[in-house]
Amino acid sequence: MGDPKVSIKSPLVPSVGAIISISIAVLLYPHSAAGPLALGIWAVLLAESGLVKVPAGSGNRLSLAFIIGAAMPILLIDGTRPDLASTGFVYAVGLLILGIARVVRGDELEHVHADVMRLGVGLGVYAITYATIAEILVTGGGLAWVEAPWDRLIAFVGAGAVWFIIEAGLWAIMTTRERGLSWRYLWLLGLSDWMVMLSMMATGALFGFSWEKLHIWAVLVAALPYGFAHVAFFRYLEARRTYGQTIRALSRIPEVAGLALEGHSDRTSSLAVETAQDLGLTPSEVTDVRYAALMHDIGRITLNEPGILRRGFTDEDISRWGAEIVAESPYLTKVSGLVARQHEPYRRPGEQRDPSLPTASKIIKAASAYDHATMELGFSPLEGLEVLHRGAAYDYDPDVVVAVRRVLERRGVV
Partner 1 sequence: MARRTTKIRNERRAKIVIATLYALSGLAVVAWLVIRESFPPIGLWLAFAVAFAFFDWRSVEVNDRMMMSPTIMVGLTAAVAFGPGHAALGVATMAALGAVSARDVKERRLFQPVANFGQLVVTAAGSSLVVEFFIRVALRGEPTFYWAWIALGSAVAAIVHASVNYAFVAFAVRTVFGQTVKPWSHLGELLPSYVTMGFVGGLLGATLVQTRVVLPLVFVVFIIGYHAFASFGQLREAHAATLRGFVKALEAKDLYTRGHTERVAEFSVLCAQHMGFTGTRLERIEWAALIHDVGKLAVPRDLIRKPGKLTSEEYTELQRHAHVVEDILAEVEFLRPMVEIASAHHSNYDGSGYGGVGHTNGEEPPLEASILAVADAFDAMTSTRSYRMALSQSYAFSELRRNAGGQFHPEVVEHFIAAIDETKRRYGSPFLNDPEEARRMAERGVESRG
Query: Interface residues with partner 1 (CB under 8 A)?
Result: 149-150, 152-153, 195, 198-199, 202-203, 205-206, 209-210, 212-214, 217-218, 220-221, 224-226, 228-233, 235-236, 239-240, 242-243, 245-247, 249-250, 252-254, 256-257, 298, 301-302, 304-306, 324-332
SS3 402: helix
Compare residues 31 and 235 and give the one whose CB is closer to partner 1.
Answer: 235
Segment (H or E) for 53: strand 53-54
Contact (Cβ atoms closer than 8 angstroms) between residue 51 and residue 63:
yes
User: In whole angstroms, what is the distance from residue 45 CA to residue 219 CA?
Assistant: 12
Contact (Cβ atoms closer than 8 angstroms) between residue 146 and residue 155:
yes
Compare residues 283 and 391 and give the one whose CB is closer to partner 1.
Answer: 283
CA distances from 293 to 258, 323, 332, 341 (A): 19, 12, 13, 12
Instruction: Write down the least CB distance from residue 168 to partner 1, Å.
Output: 17
Residue 385 CB coordination number (10 Å): 21
Compare residues 245 and 380 and give the one whose CB is closer to partner 1.
Answer: 245
Instruction: Write down the least CB distance from residue 367 to partner 1, Å.
Output: 22
Compare residues 85 and 195 and give the one whose CB is closer to partner 1.
Answer: 195
Instruction: Write down the least CB distance from residue 241 to partner 1, Å.
Output: 9
Instruction: Write down the least CB distance from residue 33 to partner 1, Å.
Output: 22
Instruction: Write down the least CB distance from residue 180 to partner 1, Å.
Output: 29
DSSP string, 114-163: HHHHHHHHHHHHHHHHHHHHHHHHSTT-TTPPP-SHHHHHHHHHHHHHHH
Residue 172 CB coordination number (10 Å): 23
User: In whole angstroms, what is the distance from residue 75 CA to residue 205 CA?
Assistant: 9
Instruction: Write down the least CB distance from residue 331 to partner 1, Å.
Output: 4
Segment (H or E) for 270: helix 264-278
User: In whole angstroms, what is the distance from residue 19 CA to residue 14 CA?
Assistant: 9
Residue 133 CB coordination number (10 Å): 20
Compare residues 228 and 394 and give the one whose CB is closer to partner 1.
Answer: 228
Instruction: Write down the least CB distance from residue 57 to partner 1, Å.
Output: 10
Dihedral angle of Cα 51, 54, 58, 61, to the nearest 10 degrees? 0
Compare residues 322 and 358 and give the one whose CB is closer to partner 1.
Answer: 322
Compare residues 150 and 352 and give the one whose CB is closer to partner 1.
Answer: 150
Per-residue burial over 386-411, b if 16 or more Cβ lie within 10 Å, else e, is ebbeebbeebbbeebbbbbbebbebb
Instruction: Write down the least CB distance from residue 254 to partner 1, Å.
Output: 7
Compare residues 231 and 377 and give the one whose CB is closer to partner 1.
Answer: 231
Instruction: Write down the least CB distance from residue 314 to partner 1, Å.
Output: 18
SS3 336: helix
User: In whole angstroms, what is the distance from residue 373 CA to residue 388 CA?
Assistant: 10
Q: Rg of the chain's alpha carbons, rounded to an integer?
A: 27
Compare residues 247 and 276 and give the one whose CB is closer to partner 1.
Answer: 247
Compare residues 190 and 391 and give the one whose CB is closer to partner 1.
Answer: 190
Compare residues 220 and 377 and give the one whose CB is closer to partner 1.
Answer: 220
DSSP secondary structure code for residue 63 in this structure: E
Q: Which amino acid does the sequence have at 37?
A: L
